[in-house]
Structure 1
Amino acid sequence: MTTFKSEPSTGVRPADDKLPLAKIVETVTGGDMPVRFTAYDNSAAGPKDSPYALHLTSPKGATYIATAPGDLGMARAYISGELEIEGAHPGNPYAVLAALGDLHFERPPARVLAQIARSLGTELLRPIAPPPQEHLPRWRRIAEGFRHSKNRDAEVIHHHYDVSNAFYEHVLGPSMTYTCALFDSEGQSLEDAQENKYRLIFEKLRLQPGDRLLDIGCGWGGMVRFAARRGVKALGVTLSREQAEWAQHAIEKEGLADLAEVRHSDYRDVTETGFDAISSIGLTEHIGVGNYPAYFQLLHDKLRVGGLLLNHCITRPHNRGRMKAGGFIDRYVFPDGELTGSGRIITEAQNVGFEVVHEENLRQHYAYTLAGWCENLEKNWDACVAEVGEGTARLWGLYMAGSRLGFERNIVQLHHVLGVKLGPDQRPQVPLRPWWVA
Structure 2
Amino acid sequence: MSIATIVESVVDGSLPVGLRAYDGSSLGPPDAARTLELRTPRAVAYLATAPGDLGLARAWVTGDLAIHGIHPGDPYDVLVDLASVRFHRPTAAAALDAARELGLRGLTPPQPPPQEALPRWRRVAEGLRHNLVRDAGAIQHHYDVSNRFYELVLGPSMTYTCACYPREDATLEEAQENKYRLVFDKLRLEEGQRLLDLGCGWGGMVRYAARRGVRVTGVTLSRQQAQWAQRAIEQEGLADLAEVRHADYRDVTATGFDAVSSIGLTEHVGVRNYPSYFRFVLDRLRPGGLLLNHCITRPHNHRQETGPFIDRYVFPDGELTGSGRVIMAAQDAGLEVLHEENLRDHYALTLARWCANLVEHWDEAVAEVGEGTARVWGLYMAGSRLGFERGVVQLHQVLAVKPFADGSTGLPLRPWWRA
Unpaired segments ≥5 residues, structure 2? none
* Contact residue 69 and residue 105 of structure 1 kept, 8 A: no
Cα RMSD (Å):
1.4
Secondary structure in 2 matching 1:135: coil
For these two proteins, the number of residue pairs brought into alignment is: 418
Pick aligned residue for 1:262 from 226, 229, 244: 244
Pick aligned residue for 1:410 from 369, 377, 391: 391
Secondary structure in 2 matching 1:171: helix
Secondary structure in 1 matching 2:305: coil
Pick aligned residue for 2:356 from 375, 384, 395: 375
Query: What amino acid is aligned across from residue 89 of structure 1 in structure 2?
Result: H
Provide the residue aligned with 1:287 in structure 2.
Answer: 269
1:151 matches 2:133: yes
Q: What is the CA–CA distance in structure 1 between the aligned matches of 2:177 and 2:318, rounded to whole Å?
A: 27
1:164 matches 2:164: no
Query: What amino acid is aligned across from residue 418 of structure 1 in structure 2?
Result: L
Secondary structure in 1 matching 2:128: coil
Q: What is the CA–CA distance in structure 2 between the aligned matches of 1:87 and 1:23, rounded to whole Å?
A: 23
Secondary structure in 1 matching 2:15: coil
Provide the residue aligned with 2:326 in structure 1.
Answer: 345
Deviations along 1:207-243, one digit per CA (max 9) or x if unpaired, are 0000000000000000000000000000000000000
Q: What is the CA–CA distance in structure 2 between the aligned matches of 1:345 and 1:29, rounded to whole Å?
A: 39
Query: What amino acid is aligned across from residue 196 of structure 2 in structure 1?
Result: L
Unpaired segments ≥5 residues, structure 1? 1-18
Provide the residue aligned with 1:4 in structure 2.
Answer: none
Task: State how 1:357-396 maps to structure 2 within 5 Å.
Answer: 357-396=338-377
1:212 matches 2:161: no
Deviation at 1:96, TM superposition (A): 1.3
Query: What amino acid is aligned across from residue 155 of structure 2 in structure 1?
Result: G
* Contact residue 70 and residue 105 of structure 1 kept, 8 A: no
Deviation at 1:148, TM superposition (A): 0.6
Provide the residue aligned with 1:248 in structure 2.
Answer: 230
Pick aligned residue for 1:53 from 24, 35, 51: 35
Deviates more, 1:131-140 or 1:265-274: 131-140
* Contact residue 217 and residue 267 of structure 1 kept, 8 A: yes
* Contact residue 402 and residue 409 of structure 2 kept, 8 A: no
Provide the residue aligned with 1:317 in structure 2.
Answer: 299
Deviations along 1:133-186, one digit per CA (max 9) or x if unpaired, are 00023665649x931111000001000000000000000000000000000111
Query: What amino acid is aligned across from residue 62 of structure 1 in structure 2?
Result: V
Deviation at 1:109, TM superposition (A): 3.0
Query: What amino acid is aligned across from residue 392 of structure 2 in structure 1?
Result: I
Deviation at 1:131, TM superposition (A): 0.5
Pick aligned residue for 1:72 from 54, 76, 96: 54
Query: What amino acid is aligned across from residue 414 of structure 1 in structure 2?
Result: L
Q: Quickly say closer, same or farther: Cα 1:165–1:141, change in 2 above 3 A.
A: farther
Q: What is the CA–CA distance in structure 2 between the aligned matches of 1:137 and 1:360, rounded to whole Å?
A: 37
1:301 matches 2:283: yes
Task: State how 1:186-225 maps to structure 2 within 5 Å.
Answer: 186-225=168-207
Deviation at 1:32, TM superposition (A): 2.1
Secondary structure in 1 matching 2:12: coil
Deviation at 1:195, TM superposition (A): 0.2
1:174 matches 2:156: yes
Q: What is the CA–CA distance in structure 1 between the aligned matches of 2:122 and 2:316, rounded to whole Å?
A: 12
Provide the residue aligned with 1:183 in structure 2.
Answer: 165
* Contact residue 65 and residue 77 of structure 1 kept, 8 A: yes
Pick aligned residue for 2:68 from 69, 86, 92: 86
Q: What is the CA–CA distance in structure 2 between the aligned matches of 1:147 and 1:85, rounded to whole Å?
A: 37
Q: What is the CA–CA distance in structure 2 between the aligned matches of 1:428 and 1:211, rounded to whole Å?
A: 17
Provide the residue aligned with 2:317 in structure 1.
Answer: 336
**Normalising to structure 2: TM-score of the pair?**
0.97
* Contact residue 420 and residue 429 of structure 1 kept, 8 A: no
Q: What is the CA–CA distance in structure 2 between the aligned matches of 1:139 and 1:110, rounded to whole Å?
A: 35
Query: What amino acid is aligned across from residue 405 of structure 1 in structure 2?
Result: L
Pick aligned residue for 1:420 from 384, 401, 405: 401
Deviation at 1:101, TM superposition (A): 2.5
Deviation at 1:257, TM superposition (A): 0.2
* Contact residue 244 and residue 262 of structure 1 kept, 8 A: yes
Query: What amino acid is aligned across from residue 215 of structure 2 in structure 1?
Result: K
> Percent identity among equivalent residues?
67
